[in-house]
Amino acid sequence: MKLLLLSTPVGALGTGLGGGVELTLLNVAQEMIRRGHSLKIVAPQGSVLGEIPIVEIAGELQTTAQSQGRSTPIVMPENSVLGNMCDYARQVQADYDLIFNIAYDWLPFYLTPFFECAIAHFISMGSLSDAMDQIAGKVAVEFPGTIGVYTRTQAETFPFAQQCRILGGGLDLSLYDFVKEPSPALAWLGRIAPEKGLEDAVAAANITGIPLKILGKMQDEAYWQQICQEYPDAPVEYVGFFPTAQMQQELGKCRALLMTPRWVEAFGNVVIEALACGVPVISYSRGGPTEIIQDGKTGFLVEPDRVEGLVEAIGRLDQIDRLACRQQAEAEYSLEALGDRFLNWFQDIIEESMNC
C-alpha cells in the first residue's frame, strides 16, 4: 500500500506542539513501513519524525483548534501551510492508494470530495467547534467509514459518533523500561496548557507534600507562571520536554502519574506510556483514560475536578501491582495491535472506494 500522511499544521513534527498525535503518527508510520508498505508524511517545514520520509511544506501555521471558541470562524492565514499541504497532496495523489489525514482542521475535510484519492481522516481530539463538527459530519455521511477516532468517549462528543471507527492507541513498548521499585515522586506529563488541568496536580502535591515531577512541552508559559504564584511552596519541579527515551526514564522512576484533564482527553497516550513503565495512573474519570485505566488494578479513576479525590487515590497506591500495569500495555497497546487496527481500517476504505 502507498500512503500519504497529512500531519498537523499547528507546528513542525518534533516540536511537541502536535501533542499525542505526533506519537500516534510516528507509531502508525513505523508499523506500516515495518510491514512493507511505503509512505510519506507531508508536514510543516522543520518537521522531523524518526527516520520517516517527510515532504516539508512552507507557510503560516494554523492556530490550535483548542484555543478557539465553538463558534469561531475558520481562519486561513495568508500562505497557509495547511492550504499548501493540501495542494501538494492534490498534485501527487495519483501516486498513492490512500491519503491519511490527521489534521484537526476544516480544509482537508472540505476538500475530500475534490480528491480522486480516498482519504482516511483520524480525528485526534473531542468536539471543539461547530464548523469542524459540521464538515466532519458531512464526510461521515458522504464517505462512510472514513472517520477514525481514539476512543468511544471521544466519538460520543460528536453528532456522528455512530459513524466513527474506534482505533485506540499503541506504543513501541521496546522503548519503555519496566521499573519495579519507584522513587516516592509523582509525575505529570503533557502539554502545559489550561485544558490539561496541571494546577490540580500541583494542588495535590501541595496537600500531600509528595514531590511532583512535571514533564512536557511548555506551551503556555503564562499559565505555568500563574500556577507557580498560586502554589509557591508546592514541592513541584518542571523537568522539561524530552524525546521518548529520556522522558520514559524520568517517568518510570515515579510512583504514579496524575492525569487531570479539563477536557475530554481523546485518548491519553501518556496513560499507556506510564503503564508501559509499570507506573499506575490516577486520572479524572473523563475521556480516553476511562477506557484505558482498570480502576483499582492499573490505577484509579476519580471524580473529575476534585483534588481531594486525587489525594485519596494517592493514599491507595500500595494496592497497585506495577507489573500488572506493564502487562496491560503489552496486552492491549502494542505496536502490532495498533498496526492491525489501522491497517484493517485503511484496507476497508480502499476497498470501499473501489466499489463506488
Size of residue set near ligand HBI by CB under 6 A = 16
Binder of ligand HBI out of 3, 21, 86, 313 (CB under 6 A): 21
CB of 66 to ligand HBI, least distance (A): 5
- Do 199 and 175 touch, CB atoms closer than 8 A? no
Cβ-closest position to ligand HBI: 19
Q: Is 131 in the site for ligand HBI (CB under 6 A)?
A: no
Name the nearest CA neighbour of 10 among 91, 77, 89, 93. Answer: 77
- Residue given cell 500541583 in the structure block: 202
- Do 216 and 260 touch, CB atoms closer than 8 A? no
CB of 104 to ligand HBI, least distance (A): 4
Phi-psi region of 209 (alpha: psi -120 to 50; beta: other; left: phi over 0): left
CB of 67 to ligand HBI, least distance (A): 8
Return d(Cα 163, Cα 156) in angstroms, integer: 10
Would you report the helix, strand and coil content of the chain in percent, each value rounded to 5?
45, 15, 40
C-beta of 8 vs 30, nearer to ligand HBI: 8
Q: Which residues pair with 215 in a beta bridge?
A: 189, 240
Return d(Cα 216, Cα 236) in angstroms, integer: 14
Q: Is 66 in the site for ligand HBI (CB under 6 A)?
A: yes
Tell me 66's DSSP state.
G
Q: Is 288 in the site for ligand HBI (CB under 6 A)?
A: no
Q: Is 20 in the site for ligand HBI (CB under 6 A)?
A: yes
Residue 16 neighbours by CB distance under 10 Å: 18
Which segment (98-106, 176-184, 254-262, 286-294) binds ligand HBI by CB under 6 A?
Answer: 98-106
Rounded to whole angstroms, the maximal C-alpha distance in the chain is: 64
CB of 266 to ligand HBI, least distance (A): 7
Binder of ligand HBI out of 62, 127, 153, 157 (CB under 6 A): 62
What's the Rg (C-alpha) of the chain? 20
CB of 64 to ligand HBI, least distance (A): 4
CB of 47 to ligand HBI, least distance (A): 13
CB of 221 to ligand HBI, least distance (A): 17
Which segment (85-93, 100-108, 222-230, 252-260) binds ligand HBI by CB under 6 A?
Answer: 100-108
Return d(Cα 62, Cα 79) in angstroms, integer: 11
Binder of ligand HBI out of 4, 12, 19, 80 (CB under 6 A): 19
C-beta of 68 vs 327, nearer to ligand HBI: 68
Binding site for ligand HBI (CB under 6 A): 8-10, 18-21, 62, 64-66, 103-105, 124-125
